[in-house]
Amino acid sequence: MTAHTVVTRSAPDAPTAPVSPVPEGLFSARTRQLGTENAFKIGPYIRAIEDAGHKVIKCNLGEPDFALPKHIADEVKRCIDLDMTHYVDPQGILPLREAIAAHVSRTRGLSITADRVVVFPGAKPPIGFSEEAYCNPGDEVIYPSPGFPIYESFTAYVGAVPVPLHLREDTGFSFSGRDLEPLITGRTRLIILNFPSNPTGGVATREQLESIASVILRKAPATARVYADEVYEDILFDGNRHVSIASLPGMEARTIIASGVSKSYAWTGGRVGWAVFPTAEEAAVFKNLNINYFSCIPAYNQMGAKVALESPESRVAIDSMVAAFQERRDVVVAGLNAIPGITCNKPGGAFYLFPNIGGVCESIGAVAAHAKLAPAYRERSSPATLFQMFLLWQYHVATLDRRSFGRIGCDGQHYLRLSIATGLDDLKRGVELIRSAASDRDGFRAFVNEGAHLW
Ligand X SMILES: Cc1ncc(COP(=O)(O)O)c(C=O)c1O
Binding residues for ligand X (CB under 6 A): 62, 122-124, 148, 194, 198, 229, 231, 260, 262, 268, 273
Counting Cα atoms < 13 Å in the Cβ hemisphere of 279 gives 6
Tell the burial category of 281 from Cβ atoms under 10 Å away from its Cβ (0-12, 13-18, 19+). Answer: exposed
**Shortest distance in whole angstroms from residue 446 CB to ligand X:** 34
Question: Which amino acid, 82?
Answer: L
Cβ–Cβ contacts within 10 Å for residue 170, how many?
6
Residue 103: alpha-carbon gap to chain centroid: 23
**Shortest distance in whole angstroms from residue 436 CB to ligand X:** 29
**Shortest distance in whole angstroms from residue 265 CB to ligand X:** 11
**Shortest distance in whole angstroms from residue 197 CB to ligand X:** 7
d(CA 417, CA 189): 29
**Shortest distance in whole angstroms from residue 431 CB to ligand X:** 23
With residue 144 as reference, give the H or E element that holds it.
Answer: strand 140-145
Cβ distance to ligand X smaller for residue 129 or 447: 129
Cβ distance to ligand X smaller for residue 263 or 287: 263
**Shortest distance in whole angstroms from residue 125 CB to ligand X:** 7
Q: Which residue is at the shortest CB distance from ligand X?
A: 122
d(CA 331, CA 335): 6
Cβ distance to ligand X smaller for residue 250 or 269: 269
Cβ distance to ligand X smaller for residue 260 or 358: 260
Cβ distance to ligand X smaller for residue 356 or 404: 404
Cβ–Cβ contacts within 10 Å for residue 227, how many?
24
**Shortest distance in whole angstroms from residue 418 CB to ligand X:** 14
3-state secondary structure of 356: strand
Sheet holding 400-401, edge to edge: 352-353, 416-419, 400-401
Give the orientation angle of helix 424-438 with respect to helix 383-395, to 10 degrees. 120
Cβ distance to ligand X smaller for residue 92 or 260: 260
Cβ distance to ligand X smaller for residue 164 or 273: 273
d(CA 264, CA 226): 22
Cβ–Cβ contacts within 10 Å for residue 323, how many?
11
Spatial CA neighbour of 84 closest among 293, 305, 276: 305
